[in-house]
């Protein structure tokens, strides 16, 4: 029984330590979310919980209420950054990689104080691309109950080591922890520019299998992506790409599905002119496209 009591005390201490850097965020109807004090005056949280961009209210670890403003948001990684009139130094975080089977604690805050839930890290994989096209440096799946107020909460191990930020917005089946390196990369860009730059062609695409005889004749792979729509005046339109074209490669990188296209259109592609190889009327063709920047989604 003493071992169980000791473990309980260690978990409570880990929650208490993590809660020193956690705020409650009131930016959506009927539910608050949590956020992490990333540096003095800066909070990182989940983008999907920011449904109101004016009159955002936060509750600080010492119980004080304050206002916050949205510095930037990126739906593809589900990360948003808030700024507030902070004082003092942000609490330090000891990073922890986390392994499958490790205890995981999500530590959030409501207006009434800290809140926590416990489970385990169920899987850790290499970098992955979200269904919205963002890159997460490590896939960390959590097996724990993520209440609404815990969206944006830090995930820590039993020793208080920081594993990442909890979100239910990147998977339809399980909670995910966004790792510290992704938070730092995206938050830095949001603070600098208010957005994350990504390449943009201005076309609607769908994967398509290529006929075996045509693939063999033209020495092509088994698949490409077919153009279903072209935005007037967009980069692809200006380069002469039309509906029915099948894209084969962008800047020398083969594209067989939408993930390949997104990978080829990273931040470093914006403003560059790239060769786009395509299939039109049974013949290979190359056009030069000046890649644009993906526009921000329109607010409702």
Active site residues: 48, 78, 151
The CA distance from 78 to 114, in Å, is 23
Contacts of the segment 68-73: beta carbons below 8 A, 24+ positions apart: 68/25, 68/43, 71/42, 71/190, 71/191, 71/194, 72/189, 72/190, 72/191, 72/193, 72/194, 72/195, 72/196, 73/47, 73/190, 73/195
Can you list the alpha helix ranges (DSSP code H) found in the chain?
A: 2-19, 180-193, 212-218, 235-239, 258-264
Choose among 28, 32, 138, 41: nearest CA to 85. 41
DSSP H or E stretch at residue 27: none
Can you list the alpha helix ranges (DSSP code H) found in 99-203?
A: 180-193
3-state secondary structure at position 47: helix
């Amino acid at each position: 029984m003493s071992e169980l009591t000791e473990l309980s005390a260690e978990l409570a201490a880990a929650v208490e330590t993590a809660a020193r850097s956690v705020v409650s965020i009131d930016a959506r109807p009927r539910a608050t979310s949590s956020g992490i004090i990333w540096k003095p005056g800066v909070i990182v949280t989940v983008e999907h919980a920011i449904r109101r961009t004016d009159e955002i209210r936060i509750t600080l670890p010492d119980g004080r209420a304050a206002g916050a403003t949205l510095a930037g948001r990126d739906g593809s990684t589900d990360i948003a950054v808030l700024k507030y009139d902070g004082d003092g130094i942000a609490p330090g975080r000891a990073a922890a990689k986390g392994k499958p089977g490790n205890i995981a604690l999500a530590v959030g805050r409501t207006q009434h104080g800290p809140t926590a839930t416990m489970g385990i890290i169920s899987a850790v994989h290499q970098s992955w691309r979200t269904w919205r096209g963002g890159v997460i440096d490590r896939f960390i799946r959590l097996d724990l109950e993520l209440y609404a107020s815990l969206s944006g909460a830090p995930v820590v191990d039993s020793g208080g080591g920081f594993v990442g930020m909890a979100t239910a917005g990147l998977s339809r089946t399980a909670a995910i922890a966004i790792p510290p390196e992704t938070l730092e990369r995206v938050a830095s860009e949001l603070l600098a520019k208010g957005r994350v730059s990504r390449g943009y062609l201005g076309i609607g695409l769908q994967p398509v299998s290529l006929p075996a005889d045509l693939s063999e004749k033209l020495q092509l792979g088994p698949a490409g992506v077919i153009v279903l729509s072209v935005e007037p005046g967009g980069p692809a339109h200006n380069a002469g790409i039309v509906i029915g074209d099948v894209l084969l490669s962008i800047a020398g990188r083969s594209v067989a599905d939408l993930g390949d296209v997104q990978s080829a259109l990273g931040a470093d592609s914006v403003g560059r002119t790239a060769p786009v190889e395509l299939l039109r009327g049974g013949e290979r063709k190359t056009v030069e496209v000046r890649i644009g920047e993906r526009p921000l989604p329109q607010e409702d």
